[in-house]
Amino acid sequence: MIKKILIANRGEIAARIIRACKKQGIQTVAVYSEADQKAPYVFMADESFLLGPPRVVESYLNMEKILRIAKETNADAIHPGYGFLSENDQFEKKCTAAGIIFIGPTGDVMNKMGSKIAARAAMQEAGVPIVPGTDGVIDTAEDAVKVANEIGYPIMLKASAGGGGIGMQVVHTDDELIKAFAGNSKRAQTFFGDGAMFMEKKLDHARHIEIQILADQHGNVVHLFERECSIQRRNQKVVEEAPSTFISDQTRQKMGEAAINAVKTLGYTNAGTIEFLVDEQEQFYFLEMNTRIQVEHPVTEEITGMDIVEEQIHIANGKALTIEQGDLKIDGHAIEVRIYAEDPVTFFPSPGHITTFTKPIGERIRNEVAVTENYDVTPFYDPMIGKLIVKGSTRDEAIKQLIEALQQYKIEGIKTNIPMLLKVIDSDRFKAGDTTTAFVEEHYLPTV
């Protein structure tokens, strides 16, 4: 049984995991960089240890140091959160070799899903539809042009090891593709240590809809329905909701079954998410699998009543799932918005000192925050400083609630995307559920 967990992460997700541990009477160990010494999560944990300087290679990506702290504090398990080491198969292997439970899937499955090219092949094998595109790595810009003309423009050029929108670009012509190919490959090499590129057809008017799954070590798999995450800027999610306004019950069921099949074929365990693109005809295509907890997991928790982090720990403990698919029902509607420290018009980062920080409060309002008043937001990490989640018995109710909550939110000293979020949520198009991945680009005009 896991008695003590080291959280190899920072910010709101570290706080979220510590909360889940406290609920189960599990001891917690936090780790932090010099830039995060005053972060709220550092003070929530039972024990906290400095990893090193702010740069991620010297702190949150320092596997040896994290493992050493885990051993010295007698932690039984490590929760990697999202980002950082969460999808690093080598880290999972090192944890296991050190006799520490990694709360997540095995490194082998992670490795397969981490390469988007291998993931496409694996999904095809599991009978899950994939976006039309290349079967393997494209080596040169010349080859890329040849294949692009077979698939047809617009094309989404992607890095096999990519994530967070890095190494990814939409191209419409041969010229654009040639220019984009080298740059994105180089960027992927810099960020992920792997410059392999592939291409997918860019689907028009598509939506990003993902299925949350839970799989135990005994072969039981359930899905916790979908999240619609189409509203994105710079290929990163901004607004997420559950359930989707778009798909029918029949499609929901088909997507859920496809996700379960994929997970069973892979032999995947723990919590995971299969992301799909869904076109106007409700045809769905595999996009990628996230082998970890996701930023937007709270909306699923709100509509199902499940605690996904708690389930992750149960699964890591070797326990069987206590729920079956038939037990799960969608209750109400939940929406999450990500609060970013950035300019609401240009989306450029806005690090700095927070002088005022007042969160909205209400019965159906959930705050997951990484910062406090009188706090320095540093430029070293992702700009997300918090998440605001609301629940309503209907989507209309949730939207009304969210607008009020966003209006109550008061952050001074840095710029945030709150004005942008209000404009999006309070728009006719969002209210009508007309949300595609092109929403921000087509609809959000920089007039805030």
Partner 1 sequence: MEEIKASMAGSVWKITVSQGESVEEDQDIVILESMKMEIPIGAEEAGTVKEIKVAEGDFVNEGDVIAIIE
Cα distances (angstroms) measured from residue 169 to each of 151, 163, 201, 401: 16, 12, 12, 35
Question: For residue 370, how far is the Cα from the chain centroid?
Answer: 16
Query: Environment class of residue 325 by beta-carbon count within 10 Å: exposed (0-12), middle (13-18) or buried (19+)?
Result: middle
- Residue 362 binds partner 1, judged by CB under 8 A: no
Looking at 17-25, 211-219, 343-351, 433-441, which segment touches partner 1 (CB under 8 A)? Answer: 343-351
- Residue 272 binds partner 1, judged by CB under 8 A: no
- Residue 349 binds partner 1, judged by CB under 8 A: yes
- Residue 40 binds partner 1, judged by CB under 8 A: no
Minimum CB–partner distance for residue 383 and partner 1 (Å):
4
Looking at 107-115, 324-332, 376-384, 396-404, which segment touches partner 1 (CB under 8 A)? Answer: 376-384
Helix (H, G, I), strand (E, B) or coil at 342: strand
Binds partner 1 by CB under 8 A, chosen from 154, 352, 360, 419: 352
Which member of 187, 292, 338, 364 is catalytic?
A: 292
Number of continuous H segments (helices) and E segments (strands) in the chain: 15, 20
Helix (H, G, I), strand (E, B) or coil at 234: coil
Q: Which one, of 298, 315, 273, lies nearest residue 367 by Cα?
A: 298
Binds partner 1 by CB under 8 A, chosen from 194, 382, 397, 426: 382
Minimum CB–partner distance for residue 159 and partner 1 (Å):
15
- Residue 351 binds partner 1, judged by CB under 8 A: yes
Nearer to partner 1, 129 or 165 (CB): 165
Q: Give the start-end residues of each E strand in 22-117.
A: 27-33, 47-52, 77-79, 101-102
Looking at 279-287, 346-354, 393-401, 432-440, which segment touches partner 1 (CB under 8 A)? Answer: 346-354
Give the Cβ contact number of residue 403 at 10 Å: 15
Cα distances (angstroms) measured from residue 407 to each of 24, 76, 160, 430: 35, 43, 40, 17
Residue 10 annotated to the active site: no
Binds partner 1 by CB under 8 A, chosen from 102, 381, 430, 439: 381
Q: Give the start-end residues of each E strand in 53-97.
A: 77-79
Nearer to partner 1, 189 or 378 (CB): 378
Interface with partner 1 (CB under 8 A): 164, 234, 341-342, 348-352, 378-383
